[in-house]
Amino acid sequence: MRRKILVRFCDKWAETEKLNDSITPYAREHLTMTEYEARKLQVIHGRGQWYETVDQVGLKILVNVDNGTCDCEMWKMSALPCMHAIAVFMYKREFAHDHVHWYYLKQAWKMTYDGVINPISDESRWPEFQYEIIEPPVIRTKVGSPKKKRRRAPDEPRAPSATFLKRCSKCGELGHNKKTCRSTGSDQ
């Protein structure tokens, strides 16, 4: 695994050295593909740096070149000009690769692989290291289900029982129901 990483790192470094473009291959491919779609758009110049692009269906999208914004938000999300922005650049006779975020420039790509990764010897040749195993603390929990009633304070009065709030449908008194009624009148 380590060997694959070292080889990949060296291959990428060599690829950045051979690159004759000012932007990364990914960014170049994106701009080329998006430029094809941008040719289908009509560009209308507004005031200042505002431009309006209109597609074949009639959908209008606003582009601000100074702010690097577009209503479709793709330019902001990917840091690569969207097809609407590329259409504006073609209208202004500018190159889209001049408006690519610095992240996609050759220098940034080179900086990614600029560091050095030294190979590591086999694990059997590593120096011995003294360590101690630290046991995690034991957390004791009570077994069983939680209590259904909360504990009252010693001076807190008892709550009225639900049975005292019941009204008998036979005699109309509080404290009992029809089944436990002790009235003398019997309806049976």
Backbone angles phi, psi at 63, to 5 degrees: -130, 135
Average pLDDT estimate for 26-40: 91
How would you label 136-163 residue by residue, b for 16+ Cβ within 10 Å and e otherwise? eeeeeeeeeeeeeeeeeeeeeeeeeeee
Examine residue 129 and state whether it is found in any structural domain, yes or no.
no
Which amino acid is present at 49? Q
* Confidence (pLDDT) at 35: 92
Domain count for the chain, please give it: 1
Stronger pLDDT, 148 or 128, i.e. the higher one:
128
By residue range, what is the domain housing residue 65? 2-112
The residue among 159 and 24 whose pLDDT is bigger is: 24
Question: Strand pairing of 42-45 and 69-70?
Answer: unpaired
For residue 2, the model assigns a pLDDT of: 66
pTM: 0.57
| Spatial distance between the Cα atoms of 169 and 174, rounded to a whole number of angstroms | 10
Give the best-scoring range by mean pLDDT among 44-48, 100-104, 150-154.
100-104
Mean pLDDT, rounded, of the chain: 83
Residue 128 or 187, more confident: 128
Give me the amino acid identity at 150: R
Supply the pLDDT for residue 29: 92
Rounded to the nearest angstrom, the gap between the alpha carbon of residue 54 and the centroid of all alpha carbons in its chain is 32
Q: Which region holds residue 68: left if phi is over 0, alpha if psi is between -120 and 50, else beta?
A: left
pLDDT at res. 38: 92
**Matching residue, tokens 């190979």:** 119
Count the residues in the chain.
188
Residue 42 — pLDDT band, cuts 50, 70, 90? very high
Split at pLDDT 50, 70, 90, the class of 22 is confident
Write down the pLDDT at residue 84: 93
pLDDT band at 188 (very low <50, low <70, confident <90, very high): very low
In a domain, 117, yes or no: no
For the stretch 86-137, pLDDT in tens is 999 999 998 988 888 898 898 888 888 887 777 777 778 888 888 888 888 8
What is the rounded distance in angstroms from the CA atom of residue 99 to the CA atom of residue 164? 81
